[in-house]
Structure formats: structure tokens, C-alpha cells
Amino acid sequence: MNFVTDRLCELSNFEPIELIERLANCEQQSSSNCCWMRPAFVQGAVMNGARTQMSECIAGCRDGAPVNITVDSFDSPELVDLIIASYRLGHIAMPTFVCDWEHLMLSRGTVYDTLLSELDGAVIFGVICTLDATTDLTITLEPLVVNTDMHIKAVTVGSEHAFIGSFNMNFDHTYWRHNWETGAYIKHAAIVDYVNTVTARMLFGHSEVRIAKFDNLELCYSFSAYQRPHLLIFEAMQSARSSIRICIFTFETLNFAAWFTLDDLLCRRMKENAGLRVEILVNGHMSRIRPNMGSRSKHFSLEKPDMCFSLEQSYPVYKPLQRLADAGASIFCVYGDSESESYYSPIHCKFCIIDDECVLDGSYNFYNTSKYSHEMYMKITDAFMAACYRSYWNDVRTKLRCIPVTTSQSVIQKKIK
């Protein structure tokens, strides 16, 4: 066995084959079960339920419990200090850290240095997200906004605690600590096994993992040809009867097929059902086309609070958003709180509420890059969780500054005629 295999087996206490095959029949084994779930929400410095719950789980560990952190970037000194203290007391085993390679190289700093210096024998794995040759042709038909990456945000603690959502471990970062994030704290051994299996397969180079399916939860992993999440999105939105409420970091072109996109689906559903209400809250900085940056450019500096807010409003939004606004959807570009002229938009959520009954959430943005990145996404069918997400959606709508996307002039003139 190679070093990575040895390391994962040591931390997980599974043999390699067992770790790979343990969930091969997960869908059949767990279909009659329900998962215990609670919301793990973050509202910047005001509320950080995700960090609190993670900290409580880690602090409650005993007897060398395994801890697995799989996130694209990691920058939380408070959690690192807790992990180091717990390991030295023997309460947890040597934790596994898996990050995106590019983010690891660009952002490595005191947190990573502390981990490697204070935890003798610690290893931080960097995943390089590459596409196989069979995918290249598809990419030419579905241009990507940014490069693909290892984008999963999942943490497992012990044998039955899992945290899955939109949050990176950047709760103390100068800017990202203000982020609004969502996710779920799930207590179920099979979910922990599923997340750990995904981590192992990424490092071993094997991609396909079946959907973990329960009565109230479907959890899936996506990479390259194994594009489960966007099928969950399609099925959920296709079945919507009264409302679709989205709160998301990036909403651009997401192809279900070469000729059919997410905005195609939503426009068709609104046309078929006049009573269907579609409302979208999107990060304002991630929704606008900037001069000399190309219509599909996503990245620009979030660290310029002096940038003129009115100038930002002069830029057009991405075409899918404008098309939906013209079709009757209510779309808002979200920025900092209404009491200040903050340039920074804290929205990093990626969730959708269907009919106030079902929730989609995870690491998956609504654009083609997510189809070819390492992603984890879940469909939650639980009345309590749906009510919590709806309350959070209302908080975003009322507590942050939401600028409506107006109907384009061509559509207005057509209606007048």
C-alpha cells in the first residue's frame, strides 16, 4: 500500500477495500431510515452555529476518535487550537485534512504552519481537480466560468457526526468571517462513512460513489462524468408546485443538456404554472458582467471596500439572471447590511427551498464549473429543516441590502406595444 492508503486506513480503521466498498449498497441498505438533522447556519460574526457545533463535537470526543476535514480552504485558528489540544489529550486521532491544491498553495499561512509544526506527523492533502479526455469535448459545448476545483465542504467527527454545507473553515479570516453560510449537522454513521468514502476515492483517483438515500435525505457526490447534483436540482425544480426560493453565491449558465439550461427550466415552469413563484437572492459581486473581464468572468477582488457602490450597480447582470427577471422571477443582488456602504457581499450560501417542503444545499453553485468539480450536495425532505431554511432566507432578504434586478427595457417596450 502507498503512503496515502496507509494514512487513510490508519485514520479510518478500515481496510482499503472495505473503505471503498462499504457503501456500495448504501441506497438499498438505508432506504427505510431517517437521519437526525439540525441546521448549521452562519450569519457572519453575529451567529456561527456551524463552528459552535463542530467545536462541541470535537471537544466531546474521547479515546482517539477520528476527525476528517475536507474543505477547499482552511483558515480557522480557533478550531485548529481545539484540534491540537484534543489530539494531545488523546481524545482524537491524528486528523485528516484534505483541501484543494490550488487554494492550499495560494493561501497557506499561519494556520497550515501551526498544524504541521504542532501536530507531529500531520499531513495536509491537496487534491488537484483535473478532467479526463472524455470530458474535454463536453467542456467546449459548456464553457466554464472558472477552473474546476475540489470544492466539497464536509467535516466528520467520530463515527456518527457530519457537517455538510457551503461553509469553508474560514471563520476567522479578515473578510470571510463575515460570510453568511448554510449547512446541516447530521448524526448518522452511514453519512460519516459516505463522506469518508468520498474523501478516500478522491485521493485514490476513483470517482463514482452512489447516492446515499434515506427517507428524509439524499446525499450525492459529483465529479466529471458522475454528475448527480444537477439531476437532483432538475428533479426538484421540475416538481415544484408553488414556490422556488434560491439563495446562492453564483448563478450563471448550468446545462442539464447541451440544449437545455437551468434558466430554460425555470422559464418553462413559470410559463406552465402561472402561480409558481421564483425568487432568487444572489451574491451581488458574483452576478455582474464587468468591462474588460469577459461575460463569464467570476473572480475579482473582494478586498476593496472603497470601490464605488454606484459603479457596481451600472454593470449588467449575467444573461440567465436577466432572462429570468424578464420572465417574471423576483431576483435580488445581495450586498452588505443596509446600515452601511459596505462593498463586500457576505452571501456564500448555495441552497434552494422547494414549496417550503424540500431543501437543496451543499457546495454546488448553479453554473457549469460545479458539474466538473468535486462537489457534495444534499436534498433534505424535512419540515423542521425546511422551516429553518425559510427563516434564514427571510433574514437574508430583510437584514442585508437586496437590490432588485429590473426588467430589461426591450421587454418593457414590448409590453407597452
Does 74 share its domain with 143? yes
**DSSP letters of 156-174?**
EETTTEEEEES--B-TTST
Are the beta carbons of 333 and 403 closer than 8 angstroms? yes
Does 271 share its domain with 166? no
Does 175 share its domain with 109? yes
Does 276 share its domain with 316? yes
Please list the ranges in the chain whose pLDDT falls under 70: 1-32, 107-109, 130-143, 145, 171-176, 205-208, 224-227, 292-309, 337-343, 409-417
Domain-ending residue, one of 187, 222, 257: 222
Predicted pLDDT of residue 358: 96
Q: State residue 408 phi and psi, 5-degree precision.
A: -65, 155
Are the beta carbons of 242 and 355 closer than 8 angstroms? yes
Domain-ending residue, one of 170, 187, 222: 222
Using DSSP, state whether 100 is helix, strand or coil. Answer: strand
Does 214 share its domain with 254? no
- For 392, the domain range is 239-363+379-416
- CA torsion sign for 18, 59, 346, 124 is negative
Which CATH number fits the domain that encloses residue 331?
3.30.870.10
Predicted pLDDT of residue 87: 94
Question: Which DSSP letter does residue 275 get?
Answer: T
Q: H-helix or E-strand containing 290?
A: none
Does 299 share its domain with 401? yes
Does 35 share its domain with 147? yes
Integer Cα distance of 207 and 374 in angstroms: 9
Would 126 be classed as within a structural domain?
yes
Are the beta carbons of 82 and 171 closer than 8 angstroms? no
Would 267 be classed as within a structural domain?
yes
Does 188 share its domain with 142? yes
Nearest 10 degrees: Cα torsion 68, 72, 73, 79: -20
Would 374 be classed as within a structural domain?
no
Would 371 be classed as within a structural domain?
no
CB atoms within 10 A of CB 71: 23
Would 218 be classed as within a structural domain?
yes
User: For the chain, how many structural domains are there in total?
Assistant: 2
What angle, rounded to 10 degrees, do the helices at 262-272 and 319-327 form? 0
Does 216 share its domain with 243? no
Domain-ending residue, one of 191, 222, 253: 222
Would 228 be classed as within a structural domain?
no
Would 288 be classed as within a structural domain?
yes
Would 82 be classed as within a structural domain?
yes
Does 97 share its domain with 180? yes
Does 136 share its domain with 11? yes
Are the beta carbons of 120 and 95 closer than 8 angstroms? no
Does 301 share its domain with 398? yes
